[in-house]
């Protein structure tokens, strides 16, 4: 994993994006050198177009999820993502090079060549993902521990990262009843450094369920680190691999003394400027959609177009959030707050559509302009649920140390939640965001939000 502005990104993802962009740029440059004799002059004119298209490809890649990792990703799913990417990228390439000066020789040839280059790069990416991977790219991981914590680590690794190979589990001195399969336990009298060298281990994850005196061989783990093997504790493992902070394995000391949770004036100012600029742009672009939505709501059902509801924001202060009405006006006629569910029978016909496409959230952009919300941040909850969740879930109040967002890391990483258990799962992503938030992470969330809207993932 590579840390970019406090956010963890998989090393292979960075290499894949970089190599694909470099390949695309080289192919476009070659287009100018091969058919034309005056390539340097043409390239000086078209250079900004080439770089703009490469940058656009990065954004489209993030939105369509073509670089998202997963052991159960099938070739059909990858082809579907590639198709979605081509539907957006090919017209973009045609329009980008269509902006070249009219006097540019063979401009249409360049446009066609750019589209062919994009198609080749995307096709290559699908091939490499499923048939061109090499064993040398795999990361060999040894888990120190064999209890419940080690079992969870094994499950998360195998379900989230296809490039990881678990070589085995080493039971701790105080672990008597293993929770992992017996055949995966490494029974050896060798010290950890020697065993790690023998098995060619790249990483060791310390996942001891029982950590009483004598259970942690600190000297051996230090020697492993000195020999070049990366050693991670449980909390850091989940933060790096899953982009979450697991509240069942974290302690206050790790949060207090570790890095992150930077809420400086500079970061706050940058985020505010970013919010104002982008929310204004989105409001301008979304105005026709909002007008059509308001008309559809009035035609579909009786009642107001908008509804307002009290939510909890920065520092626990309450504010009113406004959305397009997607439910019947008698959704809570008994006056008792209820969780909204994925297939809620209170949702109107138009409501199903605008929830699927997240159009119901658009009026919240005005809350962003007012400074009550941010574009990216934890989802604002109702006071009734905040009081309940604060009592039942540790560290829940930490999410109120930043402004709530129209979208967020938890929203793009976890399906819509309608229970206390779901709120706990989403909190783990919210804690990661609060700890590591940066302008870079905000952009990542916004790009992935586009993909969520396009696929209807987690629609409620």
Convert the pLDDT of each residue in 93-102 to its tens digit: 888 888 777 7
Summarize the confidence of residues 382-399 as an average pLDDT: 90
Q: Do 112 and 163 lie in a common domain? A: no
Residue 310 phi/psi, 5° resolution? Answer: -75, 130
- Would you say 66 and 78 are in contact if contact means Cβ atoms under 8 Å apart? yes
Task: Tell me how far CA of residue 122 lies from CA of 61, 64, 113, 265, 379, in angstroms.
Answer: 10, 12, 14, 41, 34
CA atoms within 13 A on the CB side of 141: 26
Question: Lowest mean pLDDT: which of 156-165, 282-291, 297-306?
Answer: 156-165
pLDDT score at 103? 63
What mean pLDDT do residues 47-55 have?
A: 80
Burial of 436: CB neighbours in 10 Å, binned 0-12, 13-18, 19+: buried
Cα distances (angstroms) measured from residue 40 to each of 44, 97, 319: 6, 17, 58
- Give the whole-angstrom CA distance, residue 377 versus residue 431: 10
* pLDDT-based confidence at residue 6 (cuts at 50, 70, 90): confident
Confidence of residue 130 (pLDDT cuts 50, 70, 90): confident
Per-residue confidence (pLDDT) for residue 455, from 0 to 100: 63
Rg of the chain over CA atoms, in angstroms? 25
Give residue 281's pLDDT band: very low, low, confident or very high (50, 70, 90).
Answer: very high
* Average of per-residue pLDDT values in the chain: 84
Model confidence at 460, pLDDT cuts 50, 70, 90, reads: very low
333 contact partners, CB below 8 Å, separation of at least 6: none
Asked whether the predicted pLDDT for residue 60 surpasses 90, the reply is no
* Range(s) of the domain holding residue 376: 265-332+340-455
pLDDT in the model for residue 65: 77
What is the mean pLDDT of the segment spanning 345-372?
89
- How many helices (H) and strands (E) are present in the chain, helices listed first? 16, 10
Please check whether residue 15 lies inside any domain of the structure.
yes
430 or 212: which carries more pLDDT confidence? Answer: 430
List, as one string, the DSSP characters of 188-256. Answer: -SS-HHHHHHHHT-SEEEE--S---TT---HHHHHHHHHTT-EEE-HHHHHHHHHS---TTT--HHHHH
User: Which of the two residues, 333 and 285, has the higher pLDDT score?
Assistant: 285
Q: Is 267 exposed, middle or buried (0-12, 13-18, 19+ CB in 10 A)?
A: middle
Mean pLDDT of 58-74: 75
Same domain, 367 and 274: yes
Q: Say if residue 221's pLDDT is above 60.
A: yes
**Looking at residue 223, which CATH number applies to its domain?**
3.40.50.20
Confidence at 124, pLDDT banded by 50, 70, 90: confident
Q: By C-alpha distance, which of 269, 260, 377 is closest to 314? A: 377
Say whether both 224 and 299 belong to one domain. Answer: no
Tokens (6 digits) for 430:
């919210």
Average pLDDT rounded to a whole number, residues 252-276: 86
> Are 315 and 190 in a shared domain?
no
**Residues 381, 321 share a domain:** yes
Pick the more confident residue, 61 or 132.
Answer: 61
Q: Given a cut of 60, is residue 228 above it in pLDDT?
A: yes
Shared-domain flag, residues 88 and 197: no
Question: Cα–Cα distance between 191 and 87 in angstroms, integer?
Answer: 55
Tell me phi and psi for residue 205, to 5 degrees.
-110, 120
* Domain boundary residue, one of 131, 166, 196: 131
Among the candidates 178, 207, 242, a domain finishes at 242
Q: In the structure encoding, which two tokens stand for residue 66, read together? A: 């073509």
Q: Give dist(CA 191, CA 170) in Å, integer.
A: 11
- Mean of pLDDT values over 61-84: 78
For the chain, the 3-state helix, strand and coil shares in percent, each to the nearest 5, are 55, 10, 35
User: pTM value?
Assistant: 0.84
| Count: domains in the chain | 3
Q: Is residue 253 part of a domain?
A: no
The tokens for 320 are 């009113």
Distances, alpha carbon 334 to alpha carbons 302, 307, 321, 330, 340, in Å: 19, 17, 21, 9, 15
At residue 322, φ and ψ (nearest 5 deg) are -120, 135
**pLDDT computed for residue 31 by the predictor:** 67
Q: Are residues 73 and 116 in the same domain?
A: yes
CA–CA gap between residue 74 and residue 189 (Å, rounded): 41
- The Cα–Cα gap between 200 and 398 comes to 40
Residues 70 and 178 in one domain: no
Sign of the alpha-carbon torsion through 237, 242, 245, 247: negative
- Residue 258 domain-assigned? no
Examine the domain organization and report whether 72 and 186 are in the same domain. no
Average pLDDT over residues 351-358: 86
Task: Express as a percent the part of the chain with pLDDT over 70.
Answer: 87
Residue 460 lies in a domain: no
In a domain, 248, yes or no: no
């Amino acid at each position: 994993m590579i840390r970019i502005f406090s956010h963890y990104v998989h090393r292979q993802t960075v290499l894949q994006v970089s190599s694909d962009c470099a390949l695309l740029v080289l192919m476009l440059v070659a287009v100018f050198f091969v058919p034309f004799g005056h390539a340097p002059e043409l390239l000086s004119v078209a250079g900004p177009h080439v770089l703009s298209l490469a940058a656009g490809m990065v954004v489209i890649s993030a939105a369509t999820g073509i670089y998202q990792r997963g052991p159960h990703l099938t070739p059909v799913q990858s082809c579907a993502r590639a198709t979605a990417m081509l539907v957006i990228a090919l017209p973009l390439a045609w329009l980008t090079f269509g902006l070249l000066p009219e006097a540019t020789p063979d401009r249409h040839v360049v446009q066609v060549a750019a589209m062919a280059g994009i198609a080749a790069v995307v096709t290559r990416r699908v091939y490499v993902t499923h048939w061109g991977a090499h064993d040398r790219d795999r990361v060999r991981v040894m888990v120190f521990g064999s209890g419940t914590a080690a079992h969870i680590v094994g499950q998360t690794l195998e379900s989230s990262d296809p490039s990881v190979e678990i070589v085995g589990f080493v039971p701790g001195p105080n672990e008597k009843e293993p929770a992992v399969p017996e055949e995966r336990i490494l029974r050896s009298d060798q010290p950890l450094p020697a065993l790690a060298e023998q098995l060619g281990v790249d990483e060791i994850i310390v996942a001891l369920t029982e950590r009483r005196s004598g259970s942690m061989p600190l000297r051996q783990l230090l020697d492993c680190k000195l020999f070049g093997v990366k050693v991670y504790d449980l909390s850091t493992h989940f933060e790096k691999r899953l982009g979450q902070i697991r509240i069942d394995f974290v302690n206050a000391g790790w949060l207090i003394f570790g890095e992150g949770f930077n809420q400086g004036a500079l970061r706050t100012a940058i985020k505010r400027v970013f919010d104002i600029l982008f929310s204004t742009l989105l409001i301008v672009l979304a105005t026709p959609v909002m007008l059509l939505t308001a008309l559809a709501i009035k035609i579909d059902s009786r009642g107001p177009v908008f509804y307002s509801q009290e939510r909890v924001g920065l520092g626990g202060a309450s504010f009113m959030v406004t959305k397009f009405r997607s439910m019947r006006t008698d959704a809570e006629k008994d006056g008792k707050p209820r969780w909204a569910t994925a297939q809620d029978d209170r949702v109107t016909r138009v409501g199903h559509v605008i929830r699927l496409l997240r159009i119901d959230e658009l009026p919240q952009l005005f809350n962003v302009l007012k400074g009550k919300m941010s574009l990216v941040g934890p989802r604002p909850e109702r006071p009734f649920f905040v009081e309940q969740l604060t009592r039942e879930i540790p560290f829940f109040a930490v999410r109120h140390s930043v402004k709530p967002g129209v979208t967020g890391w938890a929203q793009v990483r976890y399906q819509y939640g309608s229970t206390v258990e779901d709120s706990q799962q989403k909190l783990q992503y919210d804690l990661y965001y609060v700890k590591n938030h940066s302008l870079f992470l905000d952009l990542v969330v916004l790009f992935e939000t586009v993909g969520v809207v396009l696929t209807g993932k987690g629609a409620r």
